[in-house]
Each structure stands twice: as structure tokens, then as C-alpha cells.
Amino acid sequence: MGDQITNSAAALGAMQLFLEEYSAPAVEQLLMTAEDVQSLEIDMHELLEFNHELAMLLLESPQKYLPLFNQACVAVQRTLKQAASVTANICSVKEDVHVRITHLPNHPSLQRTRIPGSEDVGRLLSISGTVIRTGLVKMMETHRVFACTKCRGTFSVQAEIEQYNYIPKPTRCLVPGPDFCSSTTFMPADSTEEMQRCVDYQEIKIQEQVGRLALGTIPRAIVVILERDLVDMAKSGDSVTVTGVVMCRWRPVVVGERPDISVIIRANSISVLGDQSSQIAITDELRDEFHQFWANHTNTPMRARDMIVASMCPQVYGLFYIKLAVMLVLISGVARSDLTGMRVRGEAHLLMVGDPGTAKSQFL
């Protein structure tokens, strides 16, 4: 489909057509679920196949077009509910549904292994890394309702993610309508839906994967904001792929102090990668070679171990015990769960400390 998209209404219509053609079963399943807050995953490859221009607009201006995608999903839910008159009584439209974009094209500008910079602000991209810190799950107020003291109308002000979820007090009346109100005094409106204006909120920090960096490069880290159903999806040590919008965040400006501005990612979707062991292709020849090696050293297992350690990082002379420790970390253990359901990780951690020039980076 190659219809030209000239405005937001055209984009909204194209999104509805895409959802009806490619995601109708998923939307129907969304209608049948009992939970109020749900997510709908959209494969970017399918969107590119359907309408290349719409996909590019979403990648370049996600803050404008992602909310439109959410509106389109609600509209398609209503359409499908009206069509399914037999099961309409057990269907419920999820007004707070959020579209999750997954599987961005495999292009260096979209799928990153390095932390994005200021030149990427406002773009939608994916980054792979390791979670090094997870914050507590908190409640975030998404917007606040104010009442005008003059016209008695109410309006809402959205929280600004760029200013640490700060909700500014309005400077003029924003009540929609034909009559202009010049009031500058407002007060928070009493609302029975106060809890519906709050969502789960969590911040995690991910670090570049050391194995994908050049020799001697120090890995960098970036803060990722998780909201709603994305919270608690990853824990420290997990390898994740985050798809989100790159944003700038700053503290309130203070006279005489340098502004505190940082680059963050507001996650749209997050996927935890599986165990690395399941991603390694073990051929029959490699398996036979492994068994033959240990069969030849049945009576001398320690000598076989020393041969393996000596073959590790051969450009570094000596340091036998350091090589042995690194090898044990690479081999790792087996994750297990006790009777209470608590998961015990199988990965080991290593703290390597030494003087400059002692080949620490060579081992990494």
C-alpha cells in the first residue's frame, strides 16, 4: 500500500487499516482479556511491508505517531466489537492499550550496540545491552487535572518526562471552547479517578555488551525508563534488547550551577534474551571432539584442565590462576530454583583488580 500520508488524520486511517489487515486476531484476543491495561505488539517488518512511508514517519517522529497508533488500536477494538455482536457482551474495549514496536530492521542506524548520543534524540531505535542496575517500582502521575477559578472549567496538564516527571502549573486557562478565558489562577480539581492517573514506573540502567566492543574500550551505560506493563520485566545481569525513544532529561536550572542534562531512553518495548548456551550451535564434530579429548585424559583430568587454561589468551604469558578464574566465569554454572520458587542464577561474577599494563583488558 503506497497512499501518501499528508496529515495526522491520514496517518490514523492508515494505522487502522494496518491493524485490521495484519493484527485483527491479536486485537480480538485483546478484547477478550479481562485486564484493563494491555499491550499490542507490532512487527516493524510488517508495517514496512504495508506502508513504507508510515513506518518511516514512526521511526523519525515516534513521540507524535505512537500516541496515534494507540488511538488507532482503540478505534479498531470498537469496530471489531460492533462486528462481533454475538460475543459483544464478554468483550471490553481497552482504552489504555499501548502499541509495542518490535523487530526493527537490521540496520546500524536502528539497531545499536553502542549507547546513542544527542544526535539521536527524538528517534526510535533498538539497543542491546546488559542490565547493571534496576530501580524500585514506583507510582508516576501521568497528568494532573486543574480547575479554572474564573470559568469553572477543568483541563489536564501532562507530566514532562524530560524534567523528571514534573507537572508544571499552568500559566493560562487551557479549557477548550469558543470563549477565551484570561484567568491565570487555578487549583487542582477534585477527582474520583485520581488513581487512574498513576502508572507503574521503573528506571533501569543498561550497559554496552563488552564482547561487542573494541579492545580496551570502556563500556558506557544509559538509563532506560519502563512504564506500565514493562516494569519488572528485566533484572540485573539480564541481556536485553530495548526499543524506545531517545530523549534528553534535565534538572531544574539553578543560577550559578551547570545544567544537569543527560540522554535517556523511554522504552516502548523490551525483550529479555535467552540463555547464551542455547544460542551456540554445537555440531556433531565438535561434540565428538569434546568427548574424545576427555576420553584421552581419563586418568589425568588435571593435565587436561591445564592444557585448556594454557590455550586461553595465549598472547599473555603466565597468570595461570587468573586464566583459570576467567575460564570458570565463562563456563559458569547451572541456574536452579528451590522449593519456594526462588531462582538462583548460575552465572558467576569476577572482580579483576591489578596495576596498569597487567593485561586486564586482554582477558576482557
Which of 98 and 175 is assigned the larger pLDDT? 98
Which of 312 and 102 is assigned the larger pLDDT? 102
The upper half-sphere exposure of residue 268, i.e. CA atoms within 13 Å in the direction of its Cβ, equals 31
Instruction: Report pLDDT digits (tens) over 332-349.
Output: 777 777 777 677 777 777
What is the average per-residue pLDDT within 135-158? 84
Rounded to whole angstroms, the Cα distance separating 170 from 295 reads 77
Q: How many whole angstroms from its chain centre is CA 242?
A: 3
What is the average per-residue pLDDT within 293-312? 85
Instruction: Report pLDDT digits (tens) over 234-288.
Output: 888 888 899 999 999 888 778 888 878 889 999 999 988 764 444 455 778 888 8
Mean pLDDT of all residues in the chain? 82
Task: Give the least confident one: 42-56, 62-76, 175-189.
Answer: 175-189
Q: Is the pLDDT of residue 167 over 90?
A: no
Q: What pLDDT sits at residue 29?
A: 83
Contact (Cβ atoms closer than 8 angstroms) between residue 203 and residue 223? yes
**Phi, then psi, of 126 in degrees rounded to 5:** -115, 145
Please choose, from the candidates 345, 325, 323, the residue with its C-alpha nearest in 3D space to the C-alpha of residue 333.
345
Contact (Cβ atoms closer than 8 angstroms) between residue 93 and residue 78? yes
Q: What pLDDT sits at residue 232?
A: 87
Around Cβ 285, how many Cβ atoms within 10 Å? 8
Q: What pLDDT sits at residue 338?
A: 73
Q: Is the pLDDT of residue 119 over 70?
A: yes
Q: What pLDDT sits at residue 205?
A: 92
Instruction: Report pLDDT digits (tens) over 5-30.
Output: 667 888 888 888 998 888 888 888 88
What is the average per-residue pLDDT within 30-43? 79
What is the average per-residue pLDDT within 58-74? 90
Determine if the pTM surpasses 0.85. no
Which of 110 and 213 is assigned the larger pLDDT? 110
What is the average per-residue pLDDT within 282-310? 85
CA distance to 8, 208, 228, 284, 285, per residue, from 291 (Å): 63, 35, 49, 11, 10
